[in-house]
């Protein structure tokens, strides 16, 4: 589960930082999309995640809300069926599962700027180009951005990344992440609240007494780092 969520957190930011390889219309679209993202300083958006895994008899459905305050605060809050928190704040990444009474904390101050880039600020185009081929398909009301790994080593982990962008307001409608074995994770977004006045208490997560906080190891430096 943690692996799937970590992938999503990274992929959520990719759609706006892909170099155009087609028509002037596509170039204009990508420029508008990047400008739109740059103008977002705070964000609140609801999502529905569907885990369609071979090990599950029926797909697992989770619902939650994402809160972002640039440049340094991000909260991914899963609310249904159970609560789960992913919080980046003050140079630390906190993962908290209230039901299991588990909390993992990692010092990420050294990589905080890079984390925020992955979560929706910026990401180097050249870095992305080295790992993915991109195709843009224009449909009636959306742009469909399709990514496929260039290297076989990465394609063993991921087979397809698909992003669906609303033409009307440039918000993300849906993301699909597919693995070679057939497992698939999809995310649908709704109720985009762009640049709201977010209460700082949203990012004030208190861990109850009795919950042991352990130091964890999360690959923040390079989400697609290839093992040799």
Paired tokens of 83: 């609560």
Hey, where are the domains in the chain? 2-215
Q: Answer whether residue 145 shows pLDDT above 50.
A: yes
- Sorting pLDDT into bands at 50, 70 and 90, what band is 127? low
Mean pLDDT of 106-112: 73
CATH topology of domain 2-215: outer membrane lipoprotein receptor (LolB), chain A (2.50.20)
Paired tokens of 152: 């076989």
Mean pLDDT of 26-45: 81
Q: What share of the chain is helix, strand, coil (3-state, %, to 5)?
A: 20, 40, 40
156-to-66, 160, 201 alpha-carbon distances in Å: 29, 11, 41
pTM for this model (two decimals): 0.80
Is 175:164 a contact under the CB 8 Å cutoff?
yes
- Sorting pLDDT into bands at 50, 70 and 90, what band is 32? confident
- Residues β-bridged to residue 44: 67, 193
Mean pLDDT of 52-78: 90
Q: Answer whether residue 29 shows pLDDT above 60.
A: yes
Q: Answer whether residue 8 shows pLDDT above 80.
A: no
- Sorting pLDDT into bands at 50, 70 and 90, what band is 71? confident
């Amino acid at each position: 589960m943690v692996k799937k969520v970590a992938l999503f957190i990274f992929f959520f930011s990719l759609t706006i930082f892909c170099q155009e390889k087609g028509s002037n219309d596509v170039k204009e679209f990508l420029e508008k999309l990047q400008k739109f993202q740059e103008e977002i300083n705070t964000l609140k958006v609801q999502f529905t995640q569907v885990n369609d895994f071979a090990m599950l008899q029926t797909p697992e459905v989770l619902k939650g809300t994402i809160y972002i305050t640039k440049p340094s605060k991000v909260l991914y809050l899963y609310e249904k069926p159970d609560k789960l928190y992913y919080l980046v704040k003050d140079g630390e990444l906190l993962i908290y599962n209230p039901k299991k009474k588990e909390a993992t904390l990692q010092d990420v101050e050294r990589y905080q700027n890079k984390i925020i880039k992955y979560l929706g600020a910026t990401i180097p185009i050249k870095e992305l180009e080295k790992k993915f081929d991109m195709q843009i398909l224009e449909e009636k009301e959306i742009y469909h951005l399709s990514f496929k790994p260039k290297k076989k080593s990465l394609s063993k982990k991921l087979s397809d990344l698909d992003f669906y962008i609303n033409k009307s307001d440039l918000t993300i409608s849906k993301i699909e992440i597919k693995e070679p074995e057939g497992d698939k994770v999809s995310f649908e977004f709704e109720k985009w609240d762009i640049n709201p006045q977010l209460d700082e208490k949203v990012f004030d997560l208190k861990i109850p007494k009795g919950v042991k906080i352990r130091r964890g190891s999360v690959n923040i430096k390079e989400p697609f780092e290839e093992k040799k």
